[in-house]
A = this chain, B = another copy of it.
Amino acid sequence: MRFTSRTSSDGVTEQFFTLDEIPGVLWTPEGAVGTRPLILLGHGGRQHKTAPHTVSRARRYAAEGFAVVAIDAPHHGDRPQNEEFGRIAAGMRAGMAAGENPGALVAGMHSYLAGQAVADWQTVLTAVQRLDQVGVGPVGYCGMSMGCGLGIPLIAAEPRIRAAVLGLLGVHGLAEDAARITVPVQFLVQWDDQLVPRDQGLALFDALASTEKTLHANPASTGMCRRSKWRVRCGSSSGI
């Protein structure tokens, strides 16, 4: 784990790092010492580890005492994109323009990324928990949309994650992994989502095996633009 920068402001220390070619950011309370709960923030499709709402949330949680880490998903942010990813992304866009089932198209993309994304998160989690100011405390995961699509296989595979905030995605391709998730989950649904049909989002919530799960739905009708404005409260809601 190689830290490439470190700045502190408003009581929060922000450190950029790379680990096995995974670019990431770690936020901790300034002067933090000792073990603390850790929140993993998974960004959405075509976004990256320092998208404005990711950073603002991360800083807020860190100011409250959490450690927070975000990484670029494979082929996102500062990571190289290979040709195959380019073909899949172009195919997804073309399919959407042609009116194909967006749930299936998005699921295909997430499926392509998930194997690497899960391995990345597990590597980063192990490394971050070795830091004195993080330690082996409880871990939560928060991700919407693609952050949910990559988060569900991660949480299904990763017993260190004890709670999650997920949502803004349908069940397509995720039912099997969702049925392996038993940790508490807060799940967000946009009631009038242009990308995710309501029944598909409800079906993903339904598929989670967690006995402690809560669905929060809010209306919106302006599609992706509105989706990015969701006020996600990972730190206060994940129960970690």
Chain A contact residues, CB within 8 Å of chain B = 189, 191, 202, 205-206, 211, 213-219
Contact = CB atoms under 8 A, between A and B. Distances in A.
Contact of A216 (B191, B211, B216): B216
Contacts of A219: 211, 213
Nearest to A220: B211
Max chain B Cβ within 10 angstroms of own Cβ: one of A214, A217, A218 = A217
A219 B189 CA distance: 16
Contacts of A215: 189, 191, 215-218
Contacts of A189: 215
A188 to B, nearest CB: 10
A213 B218 contact: yes
A44 to B, nearest CB: 21
Contacts of A214: 216-218
A116 to B, nearest CB: 33
A206 B192 CA distance: 10
A166 to B, nearest CB: 14
A205 B215 CA distance: 13
A230 B191 CA distance: 23
18 contacts: A189-B215, A191-B205, A191-B206, A191-B215, A202-B202, A205-B217, A211-B219, A213-B218, A213-B219, A214-B216, A214-B217, A214-B218, A215-B215, A215-B216, A215-B217, A215-B218, A216-B216, A217-B217
A219 B214 CA distance: 7
Max chain B Cβ within 10 angstroms of own Cβ: one of A213, A215, A218 = A215
A159 to B, nearest CB: 22
Contacts of A213: 218-219
The 4 closest A-B CB pairs, nearest first, are A215-B217, A214-B218, A216-B216, A213-B219
A140 B113 CA distance: 47
A236 to B, nearest CB: 12
A176 B211 CA distance: 35
Contacts of A206: 191
